[in-house]
Structure 1
């Protein structure tokens, strides 16, 4: 079993801290304790997502975990292509430096493993038929 943490964009973290910090300060200033409590809960949920977004390779599957609600298992034998992506669509990725995984017929998922090359090498050892398209190391299998 190999576990890969999600890469995290520092500017994104700083943006969220600034945004939620300013909202919380304003709510305290206005003495809006219900709103303060709600934003605190939302902040705790976001922190939980940051702490629990990772990708595991186990039993010939890629297991994708993000927070309480997102759990996806992909059979590595079903992966057709892995390519770099900077797509901003919502996904279980904490960075915009992403990998797009195409699997089954036309299913896709975007992830952001911190060590992209090791992730790709690990799945490629299990399924050498995966088409790999990345800048650092262009390979076509």
Structure 2
């Protein structure tokens, strides 16, 4: 068991920047067209939605053997590490608390899974396997 919590930030891939670039181009269009109220509203909405996800996506292995998955303000789940059976590399495009397409899918309980993207996948999986040596990792 760990004596302290370990925090693994999400890897940030180019894909996460695509919506931001598109929104910034729309923002420039609003400003160029003289629609300043629209530009301010778009910037406010963009900041309220995108920034918390961008700066608040991480995975914490807690000292009590739980994995906390945090993404933005709304996605917060806790997984018992002893219930994880398998970890696989994936490049799934499905929505997930991951800021990169270089992802891991964690299978736990009987039918549950979560897709994440820790910066250091090898260290992350190694820490999970310290708590639950029965985790199979298919890279």
**Under a length normalisation based on structure 2, what TM-score does the superposition of the two structures give?**
0.90
1:8 aligns with 2:20: no
The equivalent residue for 1:18 is: 21
Q: What's the CA shift for 1:11?
A: 5.2
- Greater mean deviation of Cα atoms: 88-97 or 20-29: 20-29
Question: Comparing both chains, which one has the higher relative contact order based on Cα–Cα distances under 8 Å and sequence gaps of 6 or more?
Answer: 2
What whole-Å deviation, never above 9, does each CA across 1:71-113 have from its counterpart, x for those lacking one?
Answer: 0000001111100000000000000000000111111110000
Aligned counterparts of 1:91 and 1:42: Cα–Cα separation in 2 = 21
Which one of 43, 46, 67 corresponds to residue 46 of structure 2?
A: 43
Q: Is the Cα contact below 8 Å between 2:103 and 2:118 reproduced in 1?
A: yes
**Under a length normalisation based on structure 1, what TM-score does the superposition of the two structures give?**
0.88
Taking the TM superposition and a 5 Å limit, the aligned residue runs for 1:1-141 are 1-10=5-14, 12-13=16-17, 15-44=18-47, 45-58=49-62, 59-134=64-139
Superposition CA RMSD, Å: 1.3
What whole-Å deviation, never above 9, does each CA across 1:2-61 have from its counterpart, x for those lacking one?
Answer: 000100013542x33431221011111223234222321232121221100000000201
In the alignment, structure 2 segments of 5+ residues that lack a partner are: none
Q: What is the aligned length?
A: 133
CA distance 1:69–1:17, shift in 2 (3 Å): closer
In the alignment, structure 1 segments of 5+ residues that lack a partner are: 135-141
Aligned counterparts of 2:131 and 2:83: Cα–Cα separation in 1 = 11
